[in-house]
Structures are given as C-alpha cells and as structure tokens.
Structure 1
Amino acid sequence: MSRVAIFASGSGSNAENIVKYFKGRLKSKDFHFFTNSSKAYVNERAHKLDVKVTTFSRDEFYNSSKIIDILKDEKCELIILAGFLWLIPKELVANYKGRIINIHPALLPKFGGKGMYGKRIHEAVVAEKEKETGITIHYVDENYDEGKIIKQVKCEVLSSDTAEQVEKKIHALEYEYYPKVVEELLQI
C-alpha cells in the first residue's frame, strides 16, 4: 500500500475522521499529515493518532521541491486536502494530476474561490437565503475550487437555520462521505 498524504491548515477533524475510518484496514504509518501551521490542532491529532506530520513554511511550499520530494520518497498515492487553505502550486498539481482531491463545504460552483472557506461560506449561504447547500468533493487543479467534481451531496437549509446550524449539517456530510470517496479512489 502506498501512503496517503493529508494536508490541513487548522483543526484537522476531517483528517482524523479519515484515518479512523480506515482503522483495521490501513495503519497509521500509511498516512502522513502535512500542515502549514505549527500551531494548528491537526498537529495534536497527528500525535494522538501516531501519524507522521510535516510542517512547512510558505517559502518551502512555493519555492522549493521539499514537499514533492517527501511525497515521492514516501510513494504517496493520493493527496487529500482537508481544510487546507493555500492554493496548490502548479508543479505539485502537475506531479499529482488526478491524485489530489479537496472537499468544499458548499455546492460548487456556488460559494467557491479564494477566501471562501469555513464559516464564511455558511454565513453566505444563510445571507443568500439558499434552500439547499452541501458538500463538493473534487479534483484539484491550478485554481481554487474549479477542478472536476467527483461527488456532491446536498442538504436542506431551513429559513430558520443559522450559520452554525448549517455548519453542523455540513460537518455531518463531510464526515460521512469524504472517507467513502477516498476509499473508492484507493480501491480498498
């Protein structure tokens, strides 16, 4: 089994959920977390899960081959973005074309693009009085949230829903469907 790289910038709850989903089928050593923040809670999750974690700077990510070299050395088969906020460099996309996926907490193309992440999206969904929202799992290309869609799952937005309530619905969808899509892509 080749390794799976999971990139996260913050809490890492989706990263943890994916690792736990594969418990008994994949080992913690089959995963490698990458983060752009030494203070992100994903580091603590990695420690608790016994998953290797690499922290990198903006300069290392955009102006060196450090990340690609590690991914190749470890024979990473799939790169999963789980709350990773930086645009993926063209060189990384080219080296892993069709093997980088992302989850977006809205039904793309709505509420996508630079700066559209987390609570900002849920607030926009509520402000626009959307009747439904959901998640989009897609391949990553050189632009934010424009890669080919793999799967979308919808949920209802009630007129009484707050951004926090929408966020809870979205997290439930993410935790249920993201690991299943990863499983399909890995053909486990």
Structure 2
Amino acid sequence: MSKNIAIFASGSGTNAENIIRYFREKGSACVCLVLTNRQNAFVLERARGLEVSCAYFAKSDWESGEAILSMLREHNIDFVVLAGFLARVPDNILHAYPNKMINIHPSLLPKFGGKGMYGDRVHEAVIEAGEKESGITIHYTNERYDEGAVICQVKCPVLPEDTLDELAQRIHALEYEYYPKIIEELLNPV
C-alpha cells in the first residue's frame, strides 16, 4: 500500500520538487501535500506546477499546530519530510508522527547545526572554519533544531579553493541523490 508524504518547506523548493518527481517515477509513495510557513515561498509554485496540494500557514498556525495537524489528517499523511523548512515544528505534530518525520541538514551534524544555521550560512561557516570535509545529515526531527537521531550522513570534500557556491552545489548534488532514496528506505524497510 502506497504511503502518503507531506513536505514542509520554506524556500524555493528544489529538494521538494526532486522528491515529488522521484516518487512519481517510483510509485512507491505519493507526495500529496506541501506546506510552508512563507506566503511567497517558491515551493508553492513548484507544487502547483506539479499538481500537488499545497498551502501556506501563518506563524500563529505553526505555533499552535492544530490547523496543520488537521490538514495532515485530512490528507491521510503517513510520513513528513522537512526540506528547507526553517520554522520549529510544534510538539503536537512531532508527537503525532514519532519516527515518521525527518529533516535534511547541509553539514555533518553536530557540526554547524542549530537554530539559524541553514543554507549558505552553513556552507560559509564550514569554509571559514577550514573544514576538510562536509556533507549532508538526514535525521529524525525532534523538539530541538538539528538534534534528532541521525539516520545517515554522506560526506564530500571541502577543497581549499572552494567558493560558497561550489560547496553548495556539491552539497545539493548529495541531497538530490540521497534524500529520496533514504525516504523510500524508511517507508519500505526490507
């Protein structure tokens, strides 16, 4: 039986689109809902273009979680994927999806994680710290930013001449390759 996935995203939605397309090809699950906390997030346009139900919820809705939880139930969501989602997930939603909500972070946690550490801020910090490697961390979501149990990490080199954009491209390539596969593995354990 196919599982229903919801994606929470705050930005342009490249990871969300990649995940939607991956599961459309595979047929092993369906991304049937995209939710955002930013009214002008481009992820809404991507979702509409791919004919996936989507909605924006204001900050107050994300603080209480009730309206969001209601929509997740209406769509029979089995699994929640955070893809560039920058708000804290309310406890009532976390408790409704124990071990069924994951996030991706563009560094090797616990390094360069926590509130305010996302996107280019992470890559900039990695380069400034002189790190020799970076990568992605896929982890379960809990009450604290980037502190849930790690599911997997994939590494890549940080080259001495790397610009922020070059490192970001390398990290994005890892995200696009591994995030959908890990979601699929979690939904369909062998």
For Structure 1 versus Structure 2, the TM-score category normalised by the shorter chain is over 0.9
The runs of 5 or more residues in structure 2 that have no matched partner are: none
Give 1:56 deviation, angstroms.
0.3
Residue 113 of structure 2 corresponds to 112
The total of aligned residue pairs comes to: 188
- Return the alpha-carbon distance in structure 1 between the equivalents of residues 178 and 53 of structure 2: 24
The one-letter amino acid paired with 1:171 is H
Which residue identity lines up with residue 51 of structure 1 in the other structure? V
| Counterpart-to-counterpart distance in 1, 2:36 and 2:28 | 20
Judge conservation of contact 2:17–2:46 (CA < 8 Å) in 1.
yes
1:112-144: CA deviations, max 9, x gaps? 000000000000000001000000000000000
- Classify the secondary structure of the residue corresponding to 2:80: strand
For the 8 Å contact 2:12–2:42, the answer to whether it is kept is yes
Q: 2:19 touches 2:180 (CA, 8 Å); kept in 1? A: yes
Contact 2:13 2:84 in 1 (8 A): yes
Report matched runs for 1:2-81 at 5 Å.
Answer: 2-26=3-27, 30-81=31-82
Instruction: Check if 1:135 corresponds to 2:133.
Output: no
Cα distance, 1:168–1:45 mapped onto 2, change above 3 Å: same
Instruction: Tell me the CA shift for residue 72 of structure 1.
Output: 1.5
**Partner-residue secondary structure (3-state), 2:78:** strand
Q: TM-score, normalised by structure 1?
A: 0.96
Equivalents in 2 of 1:121, 1:175: separation in Å?
A: 18
Cα distance in 2 between the residues matched to 1:155 and 1:65:
40
The percent identity for this pair of structures is 50
Give the AA of the match of 1:44. Answer: E
Q: Using the TM superposition, give the Cα deviation of residue 30 of structure 1 relative to its aligned residue in structure 2, in angstroms.
A: 4.3
Aligned to 2:88: 87
Contact 1:29–1:52, Cα closer than 8 Å, also in 2:
no
**Residue aligned with 2:147, SS:** coil
- Distance (Å, rounded) in 1 between the aligned partners of 2:25 and 2:174: 23
Mapped partners of 2:149, 2:168: distance in 1:
24
- Contact 1:28–1:49 under 8 Å retained in 2: no
The 2-side partners of 1:119 and 1:37 are apart by: 18
CA distance in 2, matches of 1:2, 1:161: 40
Partner of 1:183: 184
Runs of 4+ in 1 over 6 A off after TM superposition: none
